[in-house]
Each structure stands twice: as structure tokens, then as C-alpha cells.
Amino acid sequence: GSVAYVSRSGGMSNELNNIISLTTDGVFEGVAIGGDRYPGTTFMDHILRYQADPDAKMIVLLGEVGGVEEYEVCEALQDGRITKPLIAWCIGTCAGMFTSEVQFGHAGSCANSDRETATAKNKSLAAAGAHVPDSFDTLGDLVGSVYADLVKSGVIVPAEEVPPPTVPMDYSWARELGLIRKPASFMTSICDERGQELLYAGMPISDVLQKNVGIGGVVSLLWFQRCLPPYVCKFFEMCLMVTADHGPAVSGAHNTIVCARAGKDLVSSVVSGLLTIGDRFGGALDGAAEQFSEAYDSNLHPMEFVNSMRKKGQL
């Protein structure tokens, strides 16, 4: 921004930021010196800094009733120490409507003489050459008018507006609107994958591996939801070894047996076994027949056929 301001009130500096941002290209620097009777810095300390800074093109002063520091600004305007456009207003003009002395919120906002009233200081600032509005309500209009004159004369060259960054939507609000959803996680009485590590019946998968519970132990956790005695786990492993696909007890026959034990009728049990037939079981007979037929048609000796299939990696 191009506008520098100094304010007595810290709370009113928020309002100045709003006014200046709406009527100009923004705030270059803003300082609130505080409402104490004897503040650490004065209006002139900051106004002279703004005067010396080439990036501050215009100055806004917001004083208030009480104190005489504004008269030092009047003297600086008259003797030429302040040459940049100065818009000034002292709040507290309503104090004249009260018949008795009024103490406002700040320790220093009390007029002990007519010279310390906001009305007297506004008149002096206007006489010294400052731009003084008719009231605080028209302060923004006056700031905008002075800014427009500086732009027209080329003193201020407005920079291109930068789009403000997008503020992310609150998570709970976005979820309520249905814009986002919590990542899906599966939890059953058997396993739980919500955390950083998979749990089998409450046992971390790392413990399952480190304690070497084996296939039987995993079956006990997943099927019975607890660690069964070693002899039971051993029994599970024996069952798996007996029912493994080992030639006569092929997977098709095993499926038929399982379906029959589940109470299915004979036709359903046989069909379940037949449906297991594929390229790696049962259907391999069809594939072998095709290869034999092709070798016969090619007049290959059986040994030549076996060697060629071995080289192809199909045996």
C-alpha cells in the first residue's frame, strides 16, 4: 500500500485498516501509540519517518481529545517539515455536548483546557494545511479523494491486485456438506485395521510374526478370536497338511467333500468340484492333448517333443 497512518487508539487502528483498504491501494505501515498520558512514542516520531520514506505517499493521523501533540503536527505542516498529504481527524468532538468534564476510556483522553478538545485541534490542523473531514463518518471519503488525486497526478501508481490466498474449509464443516469423507477402514470382531498396525483378535501382526504362532495360531486367532493351546494349533496344521492338494485328493475332489460336509446335495457337491477345473487343474488334460496332437501332426519323435517343450519352458 501507499498510505501510512498513526493512531492514538489501538482499537481504532483496526477501523483505519478497514477504511484505508477500501478506499486506497492499502496500508504501507500503521502504528498505534496508545492512549496513555505519556506514550512511549509521539505522533511526530512516526509522521517524520513516513515523510522520509519514499514508499509512503500519504499520511493519515487519527488523534483524540486530550493532549497537545497534534499542535506539533500543525507546526511541522506550517514550517515545511511535512510536505506529503496529511489527512487528520481527532475523535471525541462529542465532549462539547456534555456540561461537565468527560473522561473517555484512555488515560490521556481528557481535555483539561479548551486547547485540548478535539474540536479545537481539528480546526488547528485544518488551518495548518491538513485535510480534515467534517466528521469521522466522512474520513473514508476524504482519504479516497486524496488518494485519487495522487493517482491522477502520477504520484501513486497502483500495483496489480494480488488475489488473496484461499482459506481452507474447516474439516468438520466440509464433512457435514459431504465434500470430503473419512477414509474407509474395516473393523470386525476378528481383525482391526484402523490403526497403524493390523490386529488379529487384538494381537498386532508384528507379534504374530515375531512369536512364530504359525498357521495354526493364525487360524485360532481368526476363527476362534483367541490364542488356543499349542496342541490345538498343531491339530489345525495337521488338517491342512492332510487336505492339501497332493494328487488323488485334488482340489476338485476336496471342494466336493467340503460341500458335502456342509450339507449340500450330491449334484451341488459334484458341480462345485467340476467348477474348479481350469488350466492348472483338470483342464491341463485338454492342454496336454492339444500339444500331443500338434507334435504328432509335425512328425516329432516323443523325445524331440519333450526336449522342445522343455526349451520353451512349458514343462
Active centre residues (catalytic): 106
49 burial (CB, 10 Å; 0-12 / 13-18 / 19+) is middle
Q: What are the helix and strand counts (H, E) for the chain?
A: 13, 7
Cα–Cα dist 182/116, whole Å: 63
Cα–Cα dist 43/92, whole Å: 17
- Helix, strand and coil content of the chain, in percent to the nearest 5, comes to 50, 10, 40
Cα–Cα dist 189/223, whole Å: 10
Instruction: Provide the residue type at 296 as one letter.
Output: Y
- Reference 273, options 259, 284, 285; nearest CA is 259
Cα–Cα dist 156/143, whole Å: 14
Instruction: Provide the residue type at 196 as one letter.
Output: Q
CA 78 to chain centre: 53
Residues listed for the chain: 315
DSSP string, 179-243: S--PPP--B-SSEE-SSSS-EETTEEHHHHHHTT-HHHHHHHHHHHSS---HHHHHHHHHHHHHH
Cα–Cα dist 234/215, whole Å: 9
